């Protein structure tokens, strides 16, 4: 019983972190209809920077997200303005290929500059846990979860309470109507891309403590994130939240009762089953334009 509760709580903690990581991917898809394959590479980039900051200055890796988040926001904005915006209006497959290329460039740069080896930031509390009754909660997981929840709440407030947020949602629902009421689609897209990238700033910093990583780990991460987003419904923020929790739980339960070796396969299994049963995901709606354009 204690084992089950332990697995459930751990699953929720991990799910929270996954939710944060997936939010950037789903935000970018929602506004631009771009599947950002580079989102996983952004995470690994930030994790590497965080690891380096931690080693050089001793700053706590999770707190380092105060530095990495604005850095990634700026990076995302510049990347959008200089590269991604060039393929606006081209077919969806071109944007996939472009972001795939960006992911490879980041992987290659990390590989060449920092070497192809496993890393992990190990601050003092790395192996400590909080103990509640018979349940042990590893401190890194708890801190990571709290940081993720705070950032997700902040993101939610930005999207619902600010003019920028409303503009982003307007563009994601109807770009031409948004343009008619004076919302610049390009400007908004750049902001959304930057916000989505910035969320990887926090996510990557958390990742550096929770999981060992190396440059090519980004494939593993992008597949997890895609699994979450497919499960929740592409472009839906609440969907990403629920998808992340479900997959976080599925992963810890498989690891607890099955074996760790198979736990990552759960993601791929979920993707297949969801696409078979409900292609639009849990929260995705079939839109009028999905049916036919007449």
Binding site for another protein (CB under 8 A): 35, 37, 83, 86-87, 90-94, 96-98, 100-109, 111-112, 116, 215-216, 219-220, 222-223, 226-227, 230, 234, 261-262, 264-265, 267-268, 271-272, 275-276, 279, 288, 290-294
CB of 18 to another protein, least distance (A): 16
- Is 59 or 87 the residue whose CB approaches another protein more closely? 87
- Is 86 or 161 the residue whose CB approaches another protein more closely? 86
Q: At what angle do helices 39-57 and 218-232 cross, to 10 degrees?
A: 130
CB of 226 to another protein, least distance (A): 5
Q: At what angle do helices 185-210 and 139-161 cross, to 10 degrees?
A: 170
CB of 216 to another protein, least distance (A): 8
- Distance CA(77)–CA(74), nearest Å, equals 5
CB of 180 to another protein, least distance (A): 19
As a 3-state breakdown, the chain gives helix, strand, coil percent values, each rounded to 5, of: 75, 5, 20
- Is 148 or 247 the residue whose CB approaches another protein more closely? 247
- The residues pairing with 136 across neighbouring beta strands, listed in sequence order, are 131
- Is 104 or 185 the residue whose CB approaches another protein more closely? 104
CB of 283 to another protein, least distance (A): 15
Q: Which of 9, 38, 30, 16 is nearest to 191 (CA)?
A: 30
Residue 147 near residue 21 (C-beta atoms within 8 A): no
- Is 204 or 284 the residue whose CB approaches another protein more closely? 284
CB atoms within 10 A of CB 7: 19
**Token couple for 221:** 């991460």
- Is 205 or 252 the residue whose CB approaches another protein more closely? 252
**Token couple for 203:** 């996510």
> Could you give the angle at the alpha carbon of 178 between the alpha carbons of 159 and 286, nearest 5°?
75
Report residue 208: phi and psi, to 5°. -60, -25
CB of 138 to another protein, least distance (A): 25
């Amino acid at each position: 019983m204690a084992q089950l509760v332990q697995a459930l709580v751990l699953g929720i903690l991990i799910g929270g972190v996954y939710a944060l990581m997936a939010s950037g991917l789903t935000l970018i898809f929602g506004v631009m209809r771009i599947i950002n394959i580079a989102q996983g590479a952004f995470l690994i980039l930030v994790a590497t920077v965080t690891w380096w900051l931690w080693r050089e200055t001793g700053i706590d890796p999770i707190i380092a997200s105060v530095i990495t988040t604005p850095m990634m926001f700026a990076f995302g904005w510049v990347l959008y303005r200089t590269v991604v915006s060039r393929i606006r209006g081209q077919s969806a497959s071109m944007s996939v290929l472009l972001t795939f290329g960006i992911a490879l460039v980041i992987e290659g740069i990390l590989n060449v500059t920092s070497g192809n080896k496993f890393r992990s930031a190990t601050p003092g509390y790395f192996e400590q846990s909080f103990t509640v009754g018979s349940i042990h909660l590893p401190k890194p997981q708890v801190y990571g979860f709290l940081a993720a929840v705070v950032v997700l709440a902040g993101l939610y407030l930005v999207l619902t309470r600010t003019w920028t947020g409303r503009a982003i949602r307007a563009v994601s629902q109807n770009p031409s109507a948004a343009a008619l009421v004076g919302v610049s689609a390009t400007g908004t897209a750049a902001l959304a891309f930057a916000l989505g990238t910035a969320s990887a700033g926090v996510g990557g910093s958390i990742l550096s403590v929770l999981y060992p990583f190396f440059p090519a780990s980004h494939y593993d991460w992008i597949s997890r994130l895609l699994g979450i987003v497919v499960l929740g419904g592409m472009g839906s923020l609440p969907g990403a939240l629920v998808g992340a929790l479900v997959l976080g739980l599925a992963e810890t339960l498989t690891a607890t009762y099955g074996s760790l070796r198979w736990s990552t396969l759960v993601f791929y299994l979920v993707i297949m089953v969801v696409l078979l049963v409900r292609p639009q995901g849990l929260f995705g709606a079939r839109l009028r334009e999905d049916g036919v354009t007449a």
